[in-house]
Structure 1
Amino acid sequence: MNRFVAALAVIGLAVTAPAPAAAQAQGKSKAAAVYKAPRGPDGKHPDLNGVWQAMNSAGWDIEPHAARAALQLRPGPVVPVPAKAVLALGAVGAVPGGLGIVEGGEIPYTPEAKKQRDANRADYLNLDPEVKCYLPGVPRANYMHLPFQVFQSEKSMLIAYEYAGAVRNILFTDPGPAPVDSWMGQSVAKWDGDTLVVTVTGMNDRTWFDRAGNFHSDQMQVVERWTPTGPGLMRYEATITDPATFTRPWKMSFNLYKRQGEDARLNQFKCVEFVEELMYGDLRKEPLK
């Protein structure tokens, strides 16, 4: 019996404790699984060139949310609009549900900022800068329903967005603080291995994160991380710091997908002409019926 128990103990050790050679092989397998992206024009860093697009519903709401009526005023196909009219939206105006892109699920607003977010959400059709075709800002431009294109050369990088013709010049030499605040801010980049790290500052306080009223102040700083994780796949992460609006820094993350073939191009979405009546229609001598 003693010899039988001893034999079982030896077998147990053999099963639970892998041999050094097996452990080394497992480590090499994990290392080999790390994606090595094709090199870019400089031959050193990943090639990020191409047309990219997020495939999520964060443009409507970056926090987890169920499908809902667009205005959240009452359910059903007919909803009242703050501009003293009634608009029949039906399913066209519905907000699709989504898992959200905020890590932890909830944005850590200060109590006063959360009240402002709720007020924004209740009247977003009048207040959301996207409705009025203003530039989307960062990070919102990266997860809207329209694609964007990265132009990467040996020494420079530019990101062009289909929405409103927005652009970002990615600087690899820090020029110091931005001279003025702007809609898209100032982007200063560096490489951390195969990850492009971009620090965005100098943004005004007029952009939102989504159509759900989530907002920030002009003190916001965004640190982006762009990491290729597979053929045609890139992981995007952004850490948001804004002590005037949030109780602590928080992070969002999601995947970007590279368009292929005839889809690998940007169309035009010059939305100014779509909002002229909305913004300036009251100035007509004879308003449209």
Structure 2
Amino acid sequence: MHRLALAASLAAFMLAPAAQAQAPKPATSYHAPRAADGHPDLEGTWTNASLTRLERNPKYDHLALTEAEAAQIEGRNKALISLGNRPTDPKAKVTDLPADCSDNRGTNCNYNAAWTDPGATVMRVAGQPRSGFITTPANGRIPMRPGVRPSAPNSLRAGSGPSDNPETRALGERCLLGFGGTSGPIMLPVLYNNTYQIVQSEGHLAILVEMDHDVRTVRMGARQHLPAAVRPWMGDSIGWWEGDSLVIETTNFHPEETLRGASDHLKVTERLTRVGKDRLHYAFWVEDPSVFTEPWGGEYEFARARGPVYEYACHEGNYGLVGILSGARAEERTGVKTAPTNIDQVAKAEDGEEGGPSN
């Protein structure tokens, strides 16, 4: 893209009013209960656990799945979980147990199926089973600019190797943010811990993310974002009400946090709307003309979760990083490369990069 055209696009993006965002709006007649300030009550614990992922699997050319397609996906997942939950032969080697992985990715597995909880059903919006969360563009895929690729783990941008030290490992491994985009925005389901607690007041709204105990704080009624140099984890979020919908606009993302390779121009707009006693419609709209050819967005529905959010103690008794770094030093001494772990592949896939429901 010509530099002048790109500069013009960026300028238009930075000046565009929030009202231009095209996050999907649900058609609902539900009248949500009210909080003390008179706005809809969004409080409680919610879950987005689902077999559906952000991007649509290319095998589907349609957003709405048939009930037969949804049943096939859910049945296949049920069979995999059942197989993975069988007693494991204590004499078996990892190479003997490809079906023991949470999603049959191969023999080099990080998770036994019994330890995962990605969801058992396809995501439904207004009762309609979906092949992906993205509704715009129509193909259900992120519109990356030619030559721009989704980022590697952000810690590698400084030119360091992935196992040089703890600071060059992925954010999820370091317990700074949940992997796969679970912390948001956009808030996305991953392998487990897909529970969120919303607490609201007149001046602030907080979203506690079960994974990595992240807390997003939304400054309600704020008229402008923090200075550009201030870039907290999960960005700077300001919120307001449009009728019965909570609108959250987020900019100023931390430089080590990325959404599919987005730049520091990234802006995400979210809309949360109660559409039932136990359903919360969630819509999102993503803008960054330096990385994406056009804005893109989509929707899904949170369901009411059972019980509270429990503490997530990410690194208590975890020897993973010690083993990873020790193994890297051993490789350097011997010059022999061992098989790579697939933790980054897991995070990438659960973020939707491998496309849509299990197949």
The bucket for the TM-score relative to the shorter chain is 0.5 to 0.7
Cα deviation, 1:153-178, whole Å, max 9, x if unaligned, reads 24432111111111111112235334
C-alpha displacement of 1:106: 0.7
2:286: which partner in 1?
A: 240
Q: 1:37 to 1:130 in 2, by over 3 A?
A: same
Q: How does 1:171-210 map to 2 (within 5 A)?
A: 171-172=219-220, 173-178=222-227, 179-209=229-259
- Residue 282 of structure 1 corresponds to which residue in structure 2? 325
Q: Are the equivalent residues in 2 in contact too, given 1:42–1:155 (CA < 8 A)?
A: no
Residue type matched to 2:171 in 1? P
AA matched with 1:100? G
Q: Quick one: percent identity of the two aligned structures? A: 26
CA contact (8 A) 1:138 1:222 kept: no
CA deviation digits over 1:185-218, x for unaligned, max 9? 1110010000000001111243355xxxx44222
Question: Normalization by structure 1: what TM-score?
Answer: 0.65
Question: Structure 1 counterpart of 2:33, which letter?
Answer: P
SS of equivalent to 1:235: strand
Task: Tell whether the 8 Å contact from 1:57 to 1:100 is kept in structure 2 after alignment.
Answer: no
- Cα deviation for residue 276 of structure 1 reads 5.3
SS in structure 2 at match of 1:39: coil
In the alignment, structure 1 segments of 5+ residues that lack a partner are 1-32, 69-75, 79-85
What's 1:266 paired with? 309
Code of the residue aligned with 2:144 in structure 1: it is Y
- Report the 3-state secondary structure (helix = DSSP H, G, I; strand = E; otherwise coil) of the residue aligned with 2:148: helix
1:102 aligned onto 2:139: no
Distance (whole Å) between structure 1 residues aligned to residue 30 and residue 238 of structure 2: 25
Larger RCO of the pair (alpha carbons < 8 Å, separation 6+): 2
The alpha-carbon distance between structure 1 residues 175 and 241, as it changes in their structure 2 partners (threshold 3 A), is closer
Give the CA deviation at 1:63: 0.9
CA distance in 1, matches of 2:323, 2:223: 40
Q: Which has the larger Rg?
A: 1
The 3-state SS of whatever aligns with 1:169 is strand
Query: What residue number does 2:43 align with?
Result: 49
How far apart are the structure 1 equivalents of 2:317 and 2:283? 32
Aligned to 1:37: 32
Residues 20-45 of structure 1, C-alpha deviations (whole Å, 9 max, x = no match): xxxxxxxxxxxxx61110111212x1
- In the alignment, the residues of structure 2 paired with residue 183 and residue 242 of structure 1 have an alpha-carbon distance, to the nearest angstrom, of 18
**1:266 Cα deviation (Å)?**
0.6
Q: How is 1:1-289 mapped onto 2 (pairs within 5 angstroms)?
A: 34-43=29-38, 45-57=39-51, 61-65=53-57, 77=98, 87=108, 92=113, 99-103=131-135, 104=138, 105-114=140-149, 116=150, 129-136=171-178, 137-144=183-190, 145=192, 146-172=194-220, 173-178=222-227, 179-209=229-259, 214-259=260-305, 263-273=306-316, 277-278=320-321, 282=325
Tell me the TM-score normalised to structure 2 length: 0.54
Q: Is the 8 A contact 2:144 2:293 kept in 1?
A: yes
Q: Look up the equivalent residue of 1:129 and give its one-letter code.
A: L
Are residues 201 and 89 of structure 1, via their aligned partners in 2, closer, same or farther at CA, if it must alter by over 3 Å?
A: closer
Which residues of structure 2 form unaligned runs of 5+?
A: 1-27, 60-72, 78-96, 100-106, 123-130, 154-161, 164-168, 331-359
Residues 253 and 128 of structure 1: CA distance in aligned 2, closer, same or farther (over 3 Å): farther
Number of aligned residues? 228
